[in-house]
Structure 1
Amino acid sequence: MDIIRKHYGAVKYERSERWLEAEQYLFYFPPLRFNRFLLFPAALLIQLSVGSLYAWSGYNLPIEAYMYGRNGGIDRNIASNIFYVAIGVFGITTAVMGPWLERRGPMLGCMLGAVCFYIGNLLAGLGVYTKHIELIIFGYGIFGGIGLGVAYIAPVSPLQKWFPEARGIAAGVAVCGFGGGSIIAPYSQKFLIGVNYHKTGEVGIVGVPLTFVILGSVYFVAMMLSALVLRMPPPGYTVKGITVDTIKGAEGYQSKPIVVAVGSAEDSKDILDQKDVLEKINIEDAESSNSSKVGADTNIFAMTLAESLSSSEYWCMWFMLLGSQVTGLVIISKIQSMIQNQFKRDAETAALINSLLGGCNLLGRLVMPLISDVLPHVTGGVAGRKSIFLFSLCTQVVCLSILPSIVDSQQLNGFLGCIFAIAFCYGGSIGTIPAFLADQFGAKNVGATHGIILMAWATGAVAGGLTFTEVLKHEQIKYAPNIVPIYNLNFRWLLGPVFFGLIACILVKTNLRDRRLPYVEGEVFRLRFVNGRMLRFYRTGRIHMLSKHEEDREWSEYLRALGH
């Protein structure tokens, strides 16, 4: 227990003065200087590489045909389990390695992820060649899953810290490439393996085993080069008054900082001159005023990692993410098989739809986080990240409710409309969650909080995927040889976790006063009503709506008690 408490305790990333000096340059030596916007292409390349996981469904039929013989392209539901193993290990890795990455830095984390993912691909290729499914599971599922987990979270944390004024779009760009991987990878796989290999045995360029070697090598090089760009901001970094400690709504509650005017010649042994920081790190565009806060600038509502992980809001968000992800995950893992078996389309069409699904996933990761940044400005601060999740979960409830009738009538266009909407919402949710976590608990903790909450994503993939597969096997036996209704029961049970996630989302408190104002005697719960007023629920069953005057008075008294 002491080891666990220490691991998830205070998180601090320390660098020497010499290393901070080196980080002012892109490759740690002159002449190219670092600019925070270079993090975006680096993050994109990393995520495109690890996002190839989303195209695993393109491996299912070729692997089974190579190892067990061709059967006309029918999915045996064997190779698909490797996807779930990789996702499960991915989630465990992010949960365990999140605090480690915050302490050791994103560059080292990404390099570790690149090495593990490369080993995973090599072992998977060897496993296919020798026809040992256990070696593929160990290689891609275990080693690959570890590499995927570490590399995935490596660019997310620094982007949240470098762009505190645009957390949504920073989060979206940080993870959008993961969805883009399923656009590029299916065609790369088909080109190297052979489009109809699983049906005709006709090999493409290299066949199944060497495809893992070639693509794994490409991913390794891209990730290692991108890792060199990743780094954390310098100590005291702030944009528009927002620091790595700042939680949403608490921007005006900073402790008194040392203020150094930009352009001042003042220097000190104890602090970094802000003008020098701006020149060295090339972040002049990050400042919007003539002064900046440096040194001991701390938000009075800043949360430690332990406080964040033990809060009710965090675990409501955990179940909220689980509900928003489970449907998208099982559809992504099965989409090519569904298109070929359910709607009798060929492998090329299935690969095209897989890529289009990846495009919707990618688009959601970019558009919805951006909207979450813009909404508060448009609506006067009453909407944002939570609204994105409410929209996502409600959309998935509607789509899952009508999918059985669409499948029964074999309406491919209607089916595609629903799964594309689900993929868009799925991507939007996973793209928005890092910014949502930074808003709630501070960017300082986002590496660890994001890593642990990805366990919800992994749980959805493993538990949801395995349940989906078992139900599908039962339905295939039940309805054979008729395959039309075999997916309907899966669409129906998926409504359960999605609806549960919707309830959890409603319970997430995003207003600073709702979260920090102490409960009064007898109060057991509170909600923010649609008119912006606070509702208090008491043990006796009484409900009281506070007036604005009452709330302001209580808040002022609370702030005075804090000495602010």
Structure 2
Amino acid sequence: MFGLTFSRWYLFGAAFVVQFCIGCIYSWSVLNHPIDLAVYNNPTKGRAVNAFYIAIGVFGVATSLMGPTIERKGPSKVYLPTIDAVGLSWMFVLLGGIMSIAMFASALVLRVPPPNYTVNGLDIHGDRVDENLLEEKLEGSYRAVQTPTGADNEVSASSSIKKLTLKQALLTPDYIFMYIMFFANQLFGVIVLSRLSSMCTDIFNKSAGTASDIVSINSAFNCCGRLAFPAISDVLVRYLKIEKTFARKVLYYFTLGAQVIVIGSLPTVIRHDSYTVFVIEIFVLTCSYGGGFGTIPAFVADMFGAYNIGPMHGIILTAMAIGGVAGGLSFNHAYNDKIADGMSVGEAYIDNIQIIFVVVCIGFAVLFLVRTNAKDRFEPGYHYSVCGKRVVSIPPKEKDVMKRQEAEAATATDKLPETAV
């Protein structure tokens, strides 16, 4: 269509523009006091920040719902009706063509598959093909994404991915532990992004202009973290020959470990009124927050493969949404109650930060339970090895084994018969 050929760089450009347009949410903390003053006639009311937490919640819910929808219906069935629903076509002249062009390009690129793309044995023209023969002809080509079948569950010993259905993948211990770990990684970052400007002005008595500058610089560290941490993990894989899933896990050791140190030392920094140290620690924290957010798609894909990556990524992003809604609103409610009881601003923050410190420590501990050893992950039950030596071995329940066998038998019947090209 229009002479365009598929290229992953188009996706990168389109995704970058979309993220740029929604990135204004990270400057929300600058508006907390002005909105509280305008609505409640009290700049320290502490209500405006709730809008940020609700927005993060909507973001997480949208990703979990739209991920499966886009994967099943295609982007053109989602993006174009959304454009009409929000009236973007009528605001084209007012707002310009940047956003509409970016979204149209996204739909166009994703809608035009490469010539060798197949789904359930059918090519882009609807003709039946023999996929085994097709792979022999197209040396070095990728295997088309298909609904997993019983035959797909046969995995070689050297493979680090086991093809599972969406339900099977979501119920694995590793995905559950990754969800908890990601929740801990994102929790304090979301809260800091919503209150950074207020923290600078209320705790350290800085001017609104200075606080606004810190928010802008902090956003740059967020961006750098999202770009640098996935790139570093790729360097570990390509040049140091570290196994992919373990390389991603190492990055999360750093992001969570850095947050444990920063959050653990923040009470002392606040009590000693060390503004410079506070700013440095917040930049490190935000970089770790952004790095965790940017690395999670690769971590999920390396652990579970390309099958159902859209819904799995969307669902794990609900951890950030829960952190924003439950964690953020709880933080704000507890903070306002402590201020109403006469506690100082700094001590009110410290009491809440200490609770978050416990959550982040739990996330750091849970990360150890995420298995990157293929043999441990593929064997039924829960098994964990350290330096090649198995230290935990929990056999599966008998009913779980029966369910697994029934599921494999059911998926095996869905495989299409092989036909000649």
TM-score, length of structure 1 as denominator length? 0.59
Matched, 1:231 2:110: yes
Name which of 316, 322, 329 aligns with 1:466: 329
Q: Using a 3 Å threshold, how does the CA distance of structure 1 residues 52 and 488 change in structure 2: closer, same or farther?
A: same
Contact 2:145/2:307 (<8 A) preserved: no
Q: Which residue of structure 1 lines up, in the alignment, with residue 376 of structure 2?
A: 514
User: 2:342 & 2:117 partners in 1: Cα distance?
Assistant: 62
Unmatched runs of 5 consecutive residues or more in structure 1: 1-21, 23-28, 123-212, 244-254, 262-273, 275-289, 520-524, 540-564
User: 1:116 & 1:99 partners in 2: Cα distance?
Assistant: 20
Read off the aligned partner of 1:394 and give its amino acid letter.
G
Instruction: After TM superposition, list the pairs within 5 Å mapping 1:337-348 onto structure 2.
Output: 337-348=198-209
Matched, 1:527 2:384: yes
Matched, 1:363 2:235: no
Unmatched runs of 5 consecutive residues or more in structure 2: 120-130, 147-151, 155-161, 396-421
Tell me the CA shift for residue 236 of structure 1.
5.0
Q: Which residue of structure 2 lines up, in the alignment, with residue 374 of structure 1?
A: 235
Tell me the CA shift for residue 387 of structure 1.
1.1
Contact 1:339/1:345 (<8 A) preserved: yes
User: 2:248 & 2:62 partners in 1: Cα distance?
Assistant: 26
Higher relative contact order (CA 8 A, sep 6+): 2
User: 1:61 & 1:50 partners in 2: Cα distance?
Assistant: 22
Q: Using a 3 Å threshold, how does the CA distance of structure 1 residues 58 and 230 change in structure 2: closer, same or farther?
A: farther
Q: Which residue of structure 1 lines up, in the alignment, with residue 319 of structure 2?
A: 456
Tell me the CA shift for residue 379 of structure 1.
4.1
Q: Which residue of structure 2 lines up, in the alignment, with residue 75 of structure 1?
A: 44
Matched, 1:84 2:53: yes
Matched, 1:489 2:344: no
Instruction: After TM superposition, list the pairs within 5 Å mapping 1:5-154 onto structure 2.
Output: 22=1, 29-30=2-3, 32-69=4-41, 71=42, 74-111=43-80
Q: Using a 3 Å threshold, how does the CA distance of structure 1 residues 259 and 526 change in structure 2: closer, same or farther?
A: closer
Tell me the CA shift for residue 311 of structure 1.
1.4
Tell me the CA shift for residue 296 of structure 1.
9.4
SS in 2 for 1:484: helix
Read off the aligned partner of 2:325 and give its amino acid letter.
V
User: 2:32 & 2:345 partners in 1: Cα distance?
Assistant: 19
User: 1:62 & 1:435 partners in 2: Cα distance?
Assistant: 39
SS in 1 for 2:110: coil
Read off the aligned partner of 2:17 and give its amino acid letter.
L
User: 2:133 & 2:27 partners in 1: Cα distance?
Assistant: 49
Q: Using a 3 Å threshold, how does the CA distance of structure 1 residues 303 and 294 change in structure 2: closer, same or farther?
A: closer
Read off the aligned partner of 2:36 and give its amino acid letter.
E
Tell me the CA shift for residue 518 of structure 1.
3.7
Contact 2:233/2:248 (<8 A) preserved: yes
Q: Using a 3 Å threshold, how does the CA distance of structure 1 residues 506 and 294 change in structure 2: closer, same or farther?
A: closer
Q: Using a 3 Å threshold, how does the CA distance of structure 1 residues 391 and 237 change in structure 2: closer, same or farther?
A: farther
Read off the aligned partner of 2:371 and give its amino acid letter.
K
User: 1:57 & 1:214 partners in 2: Cα distance?
Assistant: 30
Contact 1:471/1:489 (<8 A) preserved: no
Read off the aligned partner of 1:39 and give its amino acid letter.
L
RMSD: 3.1
Task: Give the aligned length.
Answer: 368
Tell me the CA shift for residue 401 of structure 1.
0.7
Contact 1:472/1:486 (<8 A) preserved: yes
Q: Using a 3 Å threshold, how does the CA distance of structure 1 residues 321 and 295 change in structure 2: closer, same or farther?
A: closer
Q: Using a 3 Å threshold, how does the CA distance of structure 1 residues 115 and 296 change in structure 2: closer, same or farther?
A: closer
User: 2:6 & 2:59 partners in 1: Cα distance?
Assistant: 30
Tell me the CA shift for residue 214 of structure 1.
11
Instruction: After TM superposition, list the pairs within 5 Å mapping 1:325-336 onto structure 2.
Output: 325-336=186-197
User: 1:433 & 1:363 partners in 2: Cα distance?
Assistant: 15
- Post-superposition Cα deviations, 1:490-535, rounded to whole Å, max 9, x if no partner, equal 211101221121122111112211111245xxxxx42221x23333
SS in 2 for 1:526: strand
Q: Using a 3 Å threshold, how does the CA distance of structure 1 residues 339 and 215 change in structure 2: closer, same or farther?
A: farther
Q: Using a 3 Å threshold, how does the CA distance of structure 1 residues 380 and 491 change in structure 2: closer, same or farther?
A: same
Tell me the CA shift for residue 65 of structure 1.
2.8
Contact 1:342/1:484 (<8 A) preserved: yes
Q: Which residue of structure 2 lines up, in the alignment, with residue 445 of structure 1?
A: 308
Tell me the CA shift for residue 457 of structure 1.
0.7
User: 1:327 & 1:215 partners in 2: Cα distance?
Assistant: 37
User: 2:370 & 2:213 partners in 1: Cα distance?
Assistant: 38
Contact 1:45/1:222 (<8 A) preserved: no
Q: Using a 3 Å threshold, how does the CA distance of structure 1 residues 356 and 109 change in structure 2: closer, same or farther?
A: farther
Tell me the CA shift for residue 341 of structure 1.
1.3
Tell me the CA shift for residue 63 of structure 1.
2.5
Tell me the CA shift for residue 293 of structure 1.
5.8
SS in 2 for 1:527: strand
Name which of 136, 141, 159 aligns with 1:292: 141
User: 2:275 & 2:81 partners in 1: Cα distance?
Assistant: 43
Matched, 1:258 2:134: yes
User: 2:317 & 2:393 partners in 1: Cα distance?
Assistant: 32
Residue identity (%): 34
